[in-house]
Amino acid sequence: MERELSLYEKRVDALLQLLPRTDGQARETFLRTQRALKTAPDDAAYFDRWIEALAEALTADGVLAAEDLAERQAAVRARLERWEMEE
């Protein structure tokens, strides 16, 4: 019996299902990423590859600013680390 997907994996999957149903640049970026991933090696985890490719494509296409994404990642990490800091 295979393991159930983690919440992270389900969330990435949800992005992949919903992005093509939106209007605008994010949708085009998704389709472009899908085409690019077709020929990419797939030894790494499926959802990890997708989220990484999406990050690159969304910033390349200007849907998200690279600085905003980097800043938000740092903020997410900081929120996760807060528990360790509160000793």
Partner 1 sequence: MTVEARFKPGDAVVVDTRDHDGHCRTPTYLRGRQGRVREVLGAYKNPEALAYYRDAEALPLYDVVFGWKEVWGEDGIDEIAADIYENWLKPA
Partner 2 sequence: MPHDGHAHDDHAPIEDIGEVSQYEVLEQAIRELLVERGVLSAEAIQQQIDDMDSRTPVAGSKIVARAWTDAAYKERLLNDPKAALAEMGVTKLDENPEVKVVENTPDRHNVIVCTLCSCYPRVVLGMPPAWYKKRAYRSRVVKEPRQVLAEFGTELPDTVKIEVHDSTADLRYLVLPMRPEGADDWPAEKLADLVTRDVMIGVKVPKVA
Binding site for partner 1 (CB under 8 A): 23, 28, 31, 35
Residue that the structure tokens 């600013």 belong to: 65
Q: How many CA atoms lie within 13 A of 80 on its CB side?
A: 6
18 binds, among partner 2, partner 1, none (CB under 5 to 8 A by kind): partner 2
Q: How many other β-carbons are positioned within 10 Å of the β-carbon of residue 57? A: 21
Listed in sequence order, the residues at least 6 apart from 8 whose beta carbon sits closer than 8 Å to its beta carbon are 47
| Rounded least distance, CB 3 to partner 1, Å | 31
Q: Which residues bind partner 2 (CB under 8 A)?
A: 2, 5, 7-8, 10-15, 17-19, 22, 24, 26, 34, 38, 41-42, 45-48, 51-52, 54-55, 58, 63-64, 68-69, 72-73, 75-77, 80-81, 83-84, 87
